[in-house]
Amino acid sequence: MLARSDDHGASFTRVADISRLGKFINLSAETVACDDFEDLPTCNGQGQFLWGSGEYRRSSVSLAFQPLALIEDPSSLRYFTGMDGDAPRWSTEEADAIPLFDENCVGELSVAYSTHLKKWLMTYNCLSNRGILLRTADQPWGPWSGTVKLFDPDLDDGYCHIMHVSYAERRCDTVFDPGRENESGGE
């Protein structure tokens, strides 16, 4: 959902639901200049790309776009539905949104544009391929590269150092909240 605060974060008011079908539960948003992209839905000034995953660690990533001036109007959202040659296609229906790649394990995600690399960078965690994964693309809609593992908790001294391992598995750290010694941490 989208919420607004008029008192510097002391309280929030619900503005609108972003996802009604569950494809955009975990979000990463990036504000862009509309003039930097030729094939966007109607947009003047600035717009916002929204990359979203659905069911936690059981879905892939989809893309939506909306003009920033209309951020409080969910009917202004347009969902990426694929390519028509070199041009992206957009729909007003969340049901039409397609995955940007096939990896149905995404949890938290983050997307940003690197001006140095001139690439979009997406990082996320994944249940079946534990760690922090990276994909790159020239355009927000892709095509997205294969994965590179940036952080492997087994190989990069994550577990037992900065991430807790359940005491049911082994006792190698004290990195846990009180009463949660039998819950492993997640990257």
pLDDT of 17 > 90? The answer is no
Q: Which of 116, 107, 125, 119 is nearest to 57 (CA)?
A: 107
d(CA 167, CA 60): 31
Report the helix count and the strand count for the chain, using DSSP H and E.
0, 11
Q: pTM of whole model > 0.85?
A: yes
38 CB contacts (<8 Å, ≥6 apart)? 87
pLDDT, tens only, 156-180: 888 888 889 899 999 999 888 999 9
pLDDT, tens only, 91-121: 999 999 999 999 999 989 999 999 999 999 9
Q: Which of 155, 161, 154 is nearest to 175 (CA)?
A: 161
The answer to which of 56-65, 135-144, 178-187 has the lowest mean pLDDT is: 178-187
Bridge partners (DSSP) listed for residue 165: none
**Tokens standing for residue 11:** 């309280």
- For residue 157, the model assigns a pLDDT of 87
3-state class of 169 per DSSP? coil
Secondary structure (H, E, C), 127-161: CCCCCEEEEEECCCCCCCCCCEEEECCCCCCCECC
d(CA 134, CA 149): 6
Q: Are 150 and 187 in contact (CB under 8 A)?
A: no
